[in-house]
Homo-oligomer: A and B are copies of this chain.
Amino acid sequence: MKKNALVAQSGGPTVVINASLAGVVDACLKSDEVGVVYGGCNGIEGILNHQIIDLGAQVSTDELINQLKLTPSMALGSCRYKLPKEADHPEVYEQIRNILDALNVGYFFYIGGNDSMDTAAKLGEYFARKGSDIRAIGVPKTIDDDLAVTDHTPGYGSAAKYIATSVYEVLRDVRSSNFKTVLVLEIMGRDAGFLTAAAAMPRFTGDVAPHLIYLPENDFVMAEFLEDVEELLKTEKQVVVAVSEGIHFADGRYVCEGEDPSKQEVDSFGHKQLSGTASYLAQVCKEKFGVRVRSIEYGALQRCAAHCNSKVDVDEAFEIGHVAVKAALEGETCKFVCVTRVSNNPYTVEYSLIDTKLVANAEKKAPASWFNERKNGLTQEAADYILPLIQGNIPLPEKNGLPDFIKLNLTDYVTVG
């Protein structure tokens, strides 16, 4: 009997998370072995609430698949729900299995980052242990690029392209003014600095800036930072600094906590909510050097700027959706789709399947070889890694001067059982 598929999305948004979704749906629709392609709204949390739509019916043409592919941020909605351990809450696992069985789902695809891969791994193992033939495949995404094992993760390339492009534009902006200025740019990245590293790309392609760059892989030393800025101000009219939101002092305190530690918030995974690092450092420079200071906090803009997508990233994300479906149809489970870089020139990759457990909850960081001795700049190795991932751009179709993004009906639920 033909089995159905269920796909859902989880974690934070990226520009290409729907490209992977489109890839999954496209491959399922084109396969004779898959019946209905269900979409779970708001991740596992929504699936538990029976918020499941007939996604295949809503994107039934190549044109709609393409529109979905170029639409940023989870079209199915997301969740930050952390699946409990089976030992603690076996009923949750049973409930999910019952829902999937009721819908005759044989293929389950979960698109997300670290925490989502953890969910996919737990479910896949549970299904296997219980003798169910439901196959669970993880489809990676994250702008942080901090997933272990894989060379890079869909979503990173587009975020990196936006950051590199925008920083290059901002360099022109700050230079058009005649004032002595310190500009500090703040980029996402709690523990891994891959995305902030993209800010250095103008410097690797012929510009002199950004002059300084600080990633959370190293301890931040305020005295050295101020020394470096002071030295640069002797010769440069504008000093441009890029920092990760997650940079911290040697004692582990975040740099932004210098401002007002009482304002710190924590998300549902216990991660501290960070912000204000750039404005804090700018303020420190202002007080110390008496120059004009500016800061830019990219915030949500860096994870949804579809209008500045990377073609390489979009195409890979879509392809990875196809690879995930192929794997499930071939009987694989508890796997995620891994990218291996074969060559930089010409840029080529291979896809393979790796145990989801190897990536779930494991975090990758930028290697030591990416940093100069002073830890205030990057080496050519970083550029060699990043530049191939930000090549090309797929222009968005326009309607009324705005991008023509897809609008799914997320309330037309199917009946479960």
Contact = CB atoms under 8 A, between A and B. Distances in A.
Interface string A142-170: 00000000000000000001001110111
List the number of copies, as a whole number: 2
A33 B127 CA distance: 82
Given A176-B13, A307-B308, A170 B300 contact: yes
Given A80-B178, A177-B78, A300-B294, A72 B169 contact: yes
Contacts of A391: 398, 401
B401 A310 contact: yes
A169 to B, nearest CB: 4
A202 interface: yes
B294 A297 contact: no
Query: A164, A172, A407 — which one has the most chain B CB atoms within 10 A of its CB?
Result: A172
B398 A393 contact: yes
A42 interface: yes
Given A165-B307, A166-B305, A176-B73, A395 B393 contact: yes
A205 B399 contact: yes
Bin chain A's interface residue count: 35 or more
Given A173-B13, A395-B393, A403 B168 contact: yes
A105 interface: no
A401 B201 contact: yes
B307 A72 contact: no
Given A201-B401, A205-B399, A300 B178 contact: no
